[in-house]
Amino acid sequence: MSRKPRRLGAQAALLAGAAALAPWFRRYYLRWGATDAESAGALPGDDFLPSADLQATRAITIKAPAEAVWPWLAQMGQGRGGFYSYDFLENLQGLDIHSADRIHPEWQDIQAGDRFHLAPAASSDLEIAVVDAGNALVLRVPPGSPPGPFDFTWAFVLRPQPDGTTRLLVRERYAYRQWWAAWMVEAVEVASFIMSRRMLQGIRSRAEKNA
């Protein structure tokens, strides 16, 4: 067999392997760390987008009580405690993110209706939709804002466990407004998985160290 047919055969095998693994990889990055029950179960904030087109639920176990984890969630945001992820990657986009390594009392008083900054530009702001101290923080696209290609909610939920640990669940939900939004969101979700996994690990290390 000549080299060209062998090369084409190898390429076809690689493409076939990638196609076979694609559904598994998608499930992996949309459900990293979460159990089947956590992924399928309802969480605070789901009712804002009852007909979501895509949902990602990621989770981690933290060896600290929920009350020790909550302050790290309460102070998140650009210009505040950051996102405990890869700051250098976010700052390559000019987001000016600096993740805190201590709890800041001045950033703990958050209320539903407050703006949540993702970046210096106000156009990227989310709204704090739910504040249930020690239990849940839910963010959403501000009502009345100019419609983008999709609507979005972002929920952080704390679930105390019998052994004194806490499960931290992070859920993203998307409702498409444009037919092509699905292509955009699927691409975004791969990057979101990388950043979210690091964020969960960053929150865990900070909460466990302080606890």
The 10s digit of each residue's pLDDT in 61-98 is 999 999 999 999 999 999 999 999 999 999 998 999 99
DSSP labels for the chain?
--HHHHHHHHHHHHHHHHHHHHHHHHHHHHSTT--HHHHHS--TTGGGSTT-SEEEEEEEEESS-HHHHHHHHHT-BTTTTB-SS-HHHHHTTT------SS--GGG----TT-EE-SSSSGGG-EEEEEEETTTEEEEEPPTTSPP-SEEEEEEEEEEE-TTS-EEEEEEEEEEESSTTHHHHHHHHHHHHHHHHHHHHHHHHHHHHHH-
pTM for this model (two decimals): 0.89
Domain range annotation of the chain: 55-210
Question: For all residues of the chain together, what is the average pLDDT?
Answer: 90
Q: Of 3.30.530.20, 1.10.150.120, 3.30.450.20, 3.40.50.300, which CATH number belongs to 55-210?
A: 3.30.530.20
pLDDT tens per residue across span 156-189: 999 999 999 999 999 999 999 999 999 999 999 9
